[in-house]
Chain A
Amino acid sequence: MSAMHARDDVFAAGEPGLAYHAPRDLEEALALLARYGEEAKVLAGGQSLLVFLSQGLIAPAALIGLRRVPGLDGIEERDGGLTIGAMTTQHALESDPTLRTRYPALAEAAQAIATPQVRQRGTLGGNLCHANPTGDPPAALIALGASIEIVNGDGARRVPVQEFFRDYMEPALQPDELLTAVHLPPPVGSAYLKHRIRGVDNAIVGVAAAIALAPDGTCSEARIGLSGAATTPLRAVAAEAVIRGKPLSDDTIQPAAEAAAQECDPLDDTEASADYRREMVAVFVRRALARAAERARQGDTE
Chain B
Amino acid sequence: MAAPVDRVWTFLMDVPEMAGCIPGASDVRQLDATTYEAEVKAKIGPVSAAFGCTIAIVALDEAARAGVVEVRGKDAKIGGGVNARMSMELREDGGTTTVHVGSDIDVLGKIGQYGHGMIAKRAEAMLDDFAACVRARLES
In the complex, what's the smallest C-beta–C-beta distance from B8 to chain A, in angstroms?
31
Checking B46, B78, B116 against A270 with a beta-carbon cut-off of 8 angstroms, the contacting residue is B116
B121 on the A face (CB < 8 A): yes
Checking A52, A231, A267 against B47 with a beta-carbon cut-off of 8 angstroms, the contacting residue is A52
B102 on the A face (CB < 8 A): no
B110 on the A face (CB < 8 A): yes
Asked if B117 and A56 sit within 8 Å, CB to CB, the answer is no
Interface residues in B101-140 by Cβ distance below 8 A to A read 110, 114-118, 120-121
B100 on the A face (CB < 8 A): no
Chain A minimum-CB-distance residue to B116: A269
A168 on the B face (CB < 8 A): yes
CA distance A282 to B46 in the complex (A): 31
A-B interface pairs (CB < 8 A), number:
42
CA distance A231 to B118 in the complex (A): 7
CA distance A263 to B94 in the complex (A): 39
CA distance A59 to B76 in the complex (A): 13
Set of chain A residues within 8 Å of B47, measured between Cβ atoms: 52, 57-58, 169
B79 on the A face (CB < 8 A): yes
Asked if B116 and A170 sit within 8 Å, CB to CB, the answer is no
Asked if B45 and A167 sit within 8 Å, CB to CB, the answer is yes
Set of chain B residues within 8 Å of A270, measured between Cβ atoms: 116-117
Asked if B118 and A57 sit within 8 Å, CB to CB, the answer is no
Number of interface residues of B (CB under 8 A): 15
Asked if A131 and B116 sit within 8 Å, CB to CB, the answer is no
A268 on the B face (CB < 8 A): yes
Interface residues in A158-212 by Cβ distance below 8 A to B read 167-170
Asked if B117 and A169 sit within 8 Å, CB to CB, the answer is no
| A57-B114, A231-B121 given; A168·B77 CB < 8 A | no
In the complex, what's the smallest C-beta–C-beta distance from B87 to chain A, in angstroms?
23
In the complex, what's the smallest C-beta–C-beta distance from A84 to chain B, in angstroms?
24
Asked if B46 and A52 sit within 8 Å, CB to CB, the answer is yes
CA distance A168 to B45 in the complex (A): 6
Asked if A55 and B110 sit within 8 Å, CB to CB, the answer is yes
In the complex, what's the smallest C-beta–C-beta distance from A168 to chain B, in angstroms?
5
B44 on the A face (CB < 8 A): yes
Set of chain B residues within 8 Å of A58, measured between Cβ atoms: 46-47
Set of chain B residues within 8 Å of A57, measured between Cβ atoms: 46-47, 78, 110, 114
Set of chain B residues within 8 Å of A231, measured between Cβ atoms: 118, 121
Set of chain A residues within 8 Å of B44, measured between Cβ atoms: 168-169
| A55-B110, A57-B78 given; A268·B45 CB < 8 A | no
Set of chain B residues within 8 Å of A55, measured between Cβ atoms: 110
Set of chain A residues within 8 Å of B79, measured between Cβ atoms: 56
CA distance A167 to B79 in the complex (A): 24
Set of chain A residues within 8 Å of B46, measured between Cβ atoms: 41, 52, 57-58, 169-170
Interface 1/0 per residue, A264-276 and B, CB below 8 Å: 0001111000000
Interface residues in A35-55 by Cβ distance below 8 A to B read 41, 52, 55
Set of chain B residues within 8 Å of A168, measured between Cβ atoms: 44-45, 115, 118
CA distance A58 to B118 in the complex (A): 17
In this complex, which of B77, B116, B117 has the most chain A Cβ atoms within 10 angstroms of its Cβ? B117
| A269-B117, A270-B116 given; A131·B110 CB < 8 A | no
CA distance A231 to B124 in the complex (A): 14
In the complex, what's the smallest C-beta–C-beta distance from B47 to chain A, in angstroms?
5
Asked if A56 and B110 sit within 8 Å, CB to CB, the answer is yes
Interface 1/0 per residue, A44-82 and B, CB below 8 Å: 000000001001111100000000000000000000000
Q: Which residues on A are within 8 Å of B, measured CB to CB?
A: 41, 52, 55-59, 131, 167-170, 231, 267-270
A-B contact pairs, 26 of them (CB 8 A): A41-B46, A52-B46, A55-B110, A56-B78, A56-B110, A57-B46, A57-B47, A57-B110, A58-B46, A58-B47, A131-B45, A167-B45, A168-B45, A168-B115, A169-B44, A169-B46, A169-B47, A170-B46, A231-B121, A267-B115, A267-B117, A267-B121, A269-B116, A269-B117, A269-B118, A270-B117
8 closest pairs, A vs B, by CB?
Answer: A169-B45, A269-B117, A267-B117, A57-B47, A168-B45, A168-B118, A170-B45, A268-B117
